Amino acid sequence: MIEISEVSKSFNGWQAVSELSLTIKEGELTVLIGSSGAGKSTMLKLLNRLLEPDSGSIRLHGQNILEYSPQQLRRRIGYAIQSVGLFPHWTVEQNIGAVPVLLKWPKARIVERVSELLELLQLAPEKFRHRYPHQLSGGQQQRVGVARALAADPDLLLMDEPFGALDPVTRASLQQELANIQALSGKTIVLVTHDIEEALALGQRIVLMDQGRIVQQGAPRDFLLAPANDLVREFVGQSDAGIRLLGLDKIADRVRRQPAIPGEPIRSSDTLRQALSVFITRRVQSLPVVDERGQPAGVLHFADLLEPPR
């Protein structure tokens, strides 16, 4: 899908990205993570030609991105950023439909696409399509920004700290919606964050950068179980590694198919980390579990948290 080969970019003698090579698979959600100045956002801007590399090459579906005009490329790539950047005097519908209008989609198709995306992002179309950005909360504006990035059904979605300015509850909700969108659509997504919790929650693959170079890349479990060096250990918080490992697995992966027991049930779609919190607050050894339809799914025992992943 994306082949980055020995790409470098500097600004006034400062090396933002240094001989970086990376392959991003189609349909994968890749998270670029690192501290401020690591080169994450620069790399993202190089992917859609907001910046041009000093050296090296970037290929999209086997074609060098320099062979596209910047306009052609950006119409194939969705881009969502923390500041959202909605046009203040345009309605939600006009903001989401901006790129499809440029692509000369039929009006009926644009209206249909706007409705589809608003529903996907938990915004009732009849309620929100004619509102203006100042009439929306921060979380609603961010949802509209994501919808706009997805509007033309791009090959690739780039997201630069998209949820960084949101409160924890709204942020968690949007993270879950993004995970759902990726699972349903199979979109290739590259997301930049400095938050290890967000990276572990969303990333199918994590790429940790430092001083413009890749320090380690791999699945979330690799970072927690086999950090490459002290920098990675410090970044993932080795003292919290066990708790974070529980956040990678679902209750459904460990639940025992047993008759229901008394008590308020937990959901099979929740993580083992969430289950641990319930075990501790209720001071119990077993919890009833229900599936997404609210039907009994079995029982989770405290000892099940220690079992290896299936």
pTM reported for the whole predicted model:
0.86
Spatial separation of the C-alpha atoms in residues 293 and 300, rounded to whole Å? 18
Among 237, 266, 289, the domain-final residue is 237
Token pair 């980390």 in the structure block, residue = 273
36 within a domain of the structure (yes/no): yes
Using DSSP bridges, classify how beta strands 55-60 and 2-11 pair: parallel, antiparallel or unpaired.
Answer: antiparallel
**Three-class DSSP category at 304:** helix
pLDDT winner (highest mean) among 96-105, 205-214, 240-249, 299-308: 205-214
Among 183, 210, 237, the domain-final residue is 237
Q: Are residues 211 and 287 in the same domain?
A: no
Among 60-74, 88-102, 184-198, 273-287, the range scoring the smallest mean pLDDT is 60-74
57: pLDDT strictly greater than 80: yes
Among 188, 206, 237, the domain-final residue is 237
146: pLDDT strictly greater than 80: yes
Cα angle: 260, vertex 266, 268; to 5 degrees = 90
Radius of gyration of the chain (CA): 21
Q: Are residues 228 and 259 in the same domain?
A: no
Of 251, 247, 246, 254, nearest to 291 by C-alpha is 251
pLDDT at 84: 64
Of 251, 215, 231, 245, nearest to 39 by C-alpha is 215
86 within a domain of the structure (yes/no): yes
Report the side by side order of strands in the sheet with 14-24: 14-24, 2-11, 55-60, 63-64
pLDDT at 170: 79
The CATH number of the domain holding residue 255 is: 3.90.1280.20
CA distances from 186 to 25, 90, 161, 201, 269 (A): 11, 30, 21, 17, 20
Question: From the CB of residue 261, how many other CB atoms can be counted at a distance below 10 Å?
Answer: 14
Spatial separation of the C-alpha atoms in residues 212 and 56, rounded to whole Å? 14
Q: Are residues 127 and 224 in the same domain?
A: yes
Q: Are residues 123 and 259 in the same domain?
A: no
Question: How many domains, the chain?
Answer: 2
- In this structure, what DSSP letter does residue 294 have? S
Name the residue range of residue 281's domain.
249-306
pLDDT at 174: 83
pLDDT at 310: 65
289 within a domain of the structure (yes/no): yes
Of 239, 252, 262, 233, nearest to 310 by C-alpha is 252
Q: Are residues 177 and 266 in the same domain?
A: no
pLDDT at 121: 85
Phi, psi values for residue 211, rounded to 5°: 50, 40
pLDDT at 177: 82
pLDDT at 56: 96
Spatial separation of the C-alpha atoms in residues 192 and 8, rounded to whole Å? 18
Residues 6+ apart with CB under 8 A from 50: none
